[in-house]
Amino acid sequence: MYDFELVKPSSVADAAAALGDEDAQALSGGQTLIPTMKQRLAMPSKLVSLAGIEEMQGVAVSAVGGIRIGAATTHATVAKEVAGSYPALAALADGIGDPAVRNRGTIGGSLANNDPSACYPCGTLASGATINTNKRAIAADDFFVGLFETALEEGEIITSVDFPTPSAANYQKFDQPASRFALVGVMVAKFDDGVRVAVTGASESGVFRWSEAEAALNGNFSADAVAGLSVSADGLISDMHGSADYRAHLVGVLTMRAVAAC
């Protein structure tokens, strides 16, 4: 194993202080970071575990609508806890990776990593969620900056995520069966003030909103409304698992499926 020091603070403030050290890196569920370190793609000398911070755990469903999920809450817990209040988000969490990943991996870890094929960035952006950190609240629209890149500053820690609950929503994931990430994933969420459509697994710049589909669905919320639309293959991921053209095609198909399932 790559040699590192692990510290386990019990408060966000202590974690933030520990992250002030050079080469320190936050560790949440470790389902991406530890394998990455084993492959020497990351070499932090110190890991600051966020798993033991009580205030970052758990799910709270507000009586007036809206859900707050602690950043260190595992996918398995989210899948169970929001099954009644936000079924589409529960289904998304329940489809991440495999059981072992869902038992350790966390929402905060997934968002901070911002893998271009991850599910949570898609669910967060489609929901118009707010990402709370130890310094500020960041709207999902401003949070995802690019490939593995977010608005988080050095040492800034996601503490929780606030989800408004849509009147209808669905996440369609086209599995990449080897990695268990999304080859392409689309989440459609319908709110009183409009429809939001987010796409993961497709763009080289990471998760994005498909504004043309949103406009069409705001006029007519049916699969037919987006049937004639397509995204450009320019800037889409092309790899051994699927070409950019194929991914562009999937975005349209999955959007229609998501709308039909709403």
4's tokens: 């590192």
Task: Give 50 or 197: the residue with its C-beta nearer to another protein.
Answer: 50
The C-alpha R_g of the chain, in whole angstroms, comes to: 18
We find the least distance from the C-beta atom of residue 6 to another protein, in angstroms, to be 5
DSSP H helical ranges for 50-195: 75-81, 87-94, 99-104, 107-113, 120-127, 140-143
For another protein, the closer CB: 177 or 228 = 177
Distance of CA 240 to the CA centre of its chain: 24
Nearest 5°: the CA angle 38, 40, 5 is 65
Nearer to another protein, 99 or 219 (CB): 99
In the beta sheet, which residues pair with residue 138?
Answer: 131
Interface ranges with another protein (CB under 8 A):
1-6, 8, 27, 30-31, 34-35, 38-39, 49, 51-52, 76, 97-101, 103-104, 177, 180
How many of the other CB atoms lie within 10 Å of CB of 240? 5
Task: Between 39 and 167, name the residue whose CB sits nearer to another protein.
Answer: 39
The DSSP output letter for 119 is S
- Tell me which residue of 105, 89, 119, 104 sits closest to 184, measured CA to CA: 119
- Shortest spacing between CB 104 and another protein, in angstroms: 6
CB 192 within 8 A of CB 206: no
| Residues 69/131, Cβ–Cβ less than 8 Å | no
**Whether the Cβ atoms of residue 92 and residue 171 lie closer than 8 Å to each other:** yes
Q: How far apart are CA 213 and CA 114, in angstroms?
A: 23
Q: Provide the minimum distance between the beta carbon of 124 and another protein in the complex, in angstroms, as a whole number.
A: 23
Which one, 180 or 249, has the nearer CB to another protein? Answer: 180
- Closest separation between CB of residue 52 and another protein, Å? 6
Based on CB atoms, which residue is closest to another protein, 85 or 103? Answer: 103
Q: Could you tell me the smallest distance in angstroms from the CB atom of residue 162 to another protein?
A: 27
User: What's the closest the beta carbon of residue 195 comes to another protein, in angstroms?
Assistant: 29
- What's at 145, amino acid-wise? V
Closest approach, Cβ 35 to another protein, in A, equals 4
Residue with smaller CB distance to another protein, 6 or 64: 6
